[in-house]
Amino acid sequence: MDQASDFVVATRTALAQLTALGVQYSFSVIGAIILLILGWLVAGLLSRWVFNGLSHINGIDATLSQFFSNIVRYAALILVVVMVLGQFGVQTASILAALGAIGLAVGLALQGTLQNIAAGIMLLVLRPFRVGESIETGSVTGTIVDVGLFATELKTAEGVYRLAPNSTLWNVPITNYSRLASRRHEITISIGADENVDVTESKLIKLATADKRVLKSPAPAAFLSDFDAGSAKITLRYWIGSKQWWDVSRDMTKAVKIAFDKEPETETPQSSEEATA
């Protein structure tokens, strides 16, 4: 009889404790669910706010805006998870320390990747080149197809696809052939020492001004660039729109060659070209 009474008392005590624990943790679970829902909504709201704010800043790329908005969103969600764990009595200080150690380990393991991300952010902010522009670096030449956080896609003049890590583009000088509206081109020819320099210069300027694609300002110019005992070099310098530079420079070079090939009074001069960007 005493054993039955003790069993009943122990059962009632266990049920009472379970009920108390259930009530206690039910509130914690409900609070955690509410906190997760609110945290999810706040994280999304902060993400959209950051994206919209950065999108209105002139010069900030959409890729960069999305990147920072995602960072804010995930940071908010991590904070919410830590707060939820704190609802159940978990020591959040140890969790934060563990997250810091994990972040440090991942950063060391992905050092090269993080360099590309940092370079990608700087490229997207400073915009030394944009999609459709032609560039040249120490090892990369081509037209920009896409600029990402990790790498930049290019298309070479031969129609070859090239993917360049951002760190290789950020750490070297970049020549952008498309950024400015106009570019200069030069053609240098050799004439005999007894030929009239002024006549040759006038003929070169006339050829340049005859092409409507050659810019009127700055005006084309021709000058004596070098000479020796047997010959003289005359240089024609003129400006072209950047988009037409390749076609006009080649057409003008051909026109100069044909014009001096047809020179009736003098022996056909030996010509040479020097094209500078």
Q: What's the average model confidence in pLDDT over 116-142?
A: 88
pLDDT band of 124, cuts 50, 70, 90: confident
Q: What is the pTM of this model?
A: 0.61
Kindly report, residue by residue over 79-108, the tens digit of the pLDDT: 888 777 776 666 666 666 766 777 666 666
pLDDT of residue 89: 65
Which candidate, 263, 227, 261, 262, places its Cα nearest to that of 271? Answer: 261
Cα separation, 97 vs 103, in Å, equals 10
Kindly report, residue by residue over 222-276, the tens digit of the pLDDT: 999 998 888 999 999 999 999 999 999 999 999 999 998 865 444 444 444 444 4
Percent of the chain with pLDDT over 70: 73
Look at the block and give the residue holding tokens 């159940």.
Answer: 88
**Domains of the chain as residue ranges with CATH:** 2-109 (1.10.287.1260), 129-176 (2.30.30.60), 182-261 (3.30.70.100)
Cα separation, 65 vs 108, in Å, equals 25
pLDDT of 28 higher than 80: no
Tokens linked to 188 = 């240098």
Angle at 64 between CA 58 and CA 66, to 5 degrees: 110
Largest CA distance in the chain: 140
Kindly report, residue by residue over 49-65, the tens digit of the pLDDT: 888 887 777 766 666 77
Q: What's the average model confidence in pLDDT over 150-159?
A: 91
Tokens linked to 239 = 């400006």
Residue 15 or 103, more confident: 103
